[in-house]
Structure 1
Amino acid sequence: MRFRKPTVEPLEINLTPMIDCLLFLIVFLLLATSFNHFSRLNIILPEAEGVALTEQKNSIEVAVQEDGSYLVNGITLASSNEAELTSMLQQEAGSNRDMLFVIAADANATHQSVVRVMDIAGKLGFLNLNISTVVPLGQPLPQ
């Protein structure tokens, strides 16, 4: 009796069903995912009730206007570049860096304009930096 030798078929892994399943899962996840914009921050800025004002005769007030121009102690700068603002602050302060440094920015001024003033004040070494705010209507002034 002669037995036939069984023929061995070559092994091969069929990836088509696995790829089909993965594509089905990807499509399902894309359809089931809601694309909300969670990265947006809804920031509600607090109103400042303020603190009692202390009179300081030596202070520097930098006003930032809506268009990005600056006023240093009421003097309008010819341009709003960093070099002119730096030289004006050095001229007004002299060597005194302990004086009160107040930034009074328009509500519609760009954030970059305000940060530029803060950066220059930090580079020049001012220690007492304040940001001017207004008391909301209907709030009593602090004593």
Structure 2
Amino acid sequence: MKFRRKPRENVEIGLAPLIDVVFILLLFFVVTTTFTRETQLQVDLPEAASGTPPQPTELRQLEILIDATGAFSLNGKVLLRSDLASLMAALGKESGGDASLPVIISADAKTPHQAVVTAMDAAGKAGFSHLRITTVEAQETP
């Protein structure tokens, strides 16, 4: 006995609804993703048992931040190169030629000593005479 087969229907996946779903998923991931850009260096300041806290001032200040690897940041802007020439150029640009501004050096406790000396040398060569080095107050040991 010969049975007659039913002709099969061609099954097709609609491409337009699939593209719509992909775009909705893409939009969902773009909206829910948080984009954070770290522009500041993480610095763990060294401790000091003596010192005076800085007096609040209305003047603009230049803050040189040095991380544990010796990378420089000036007023929150990371410098591409960590050498004397680029730091001097950044100090001149940021100060606008005003060498009377105070310069604050905040170096990590594990920063190589050479990086701190380079920052002090750059400030001195640029003509800055008001220089501070920041520390945190030492904790008393019981």
- TM-score tier (shorter): 0.5 to 0.7
- CA drift of 1:47 comes to 2.1
Aligned length: 94
Partner of 2:88: 86
Identity %: 32
- CA drift of 1:57 comes to 3.2
The alpha-carbon distance between structure 1 residues 52 and 70, as it changes in their structure 2 partners (threshold 3 A), is closer
SS at match of 2:73: strand
- 1:1-143 paired onto structure 2 within 5 Å: 46-137=48-139
- CA drift of 1:111 comes to 0.4
TM-score calculated relative to the size of structure 1? 0.60
Q: Give 1:130's aligned amino acid.
A: R
Q: Give 2:69's aligned amino acid.
A: D
Question: Once the two structures are superposed, what CA deviation does each residue of 1:83-106 show, in whole Å capped at 9, x if it has no partner?
Answer: 211111110011211111000000
CA contact (8 A) 1:48 1:134 kept: no
Larger radius of gyration between Structure 1 and Structure 2: 1
SS at match of 1:115: helix
Q: Give 2:89's aligned amino acid.
A: S
Distance 2:57 2:64 in 1: 17
Distance 2:75 2:99 in 1: 16
Q: Give 2:52's aligned amino acid.
A: G
SS at match of 2:132: strand
List runs of 5+ in structure 1 lacking aligned partners: 1-44, 139-143
CA contact (8 A) 2:48 2:137 kept: no
Give RMSD over aligned pairs: 1.8
Partner of 2:35: none
Distance 2:54 2:131 in 1: 16
Tell me which stretches of 4 or more aligned residues in structure 1 moved more than 3 Å: none
SS at match of 2:138: coil
List runs of 5+ in structure 2 lacking aligned partners: 1-46
Partner of 1:26: none
CA contact (8 A) 1:50 1:133 kept: no
TM-score calculated relative to the size of structure 2? 0.61
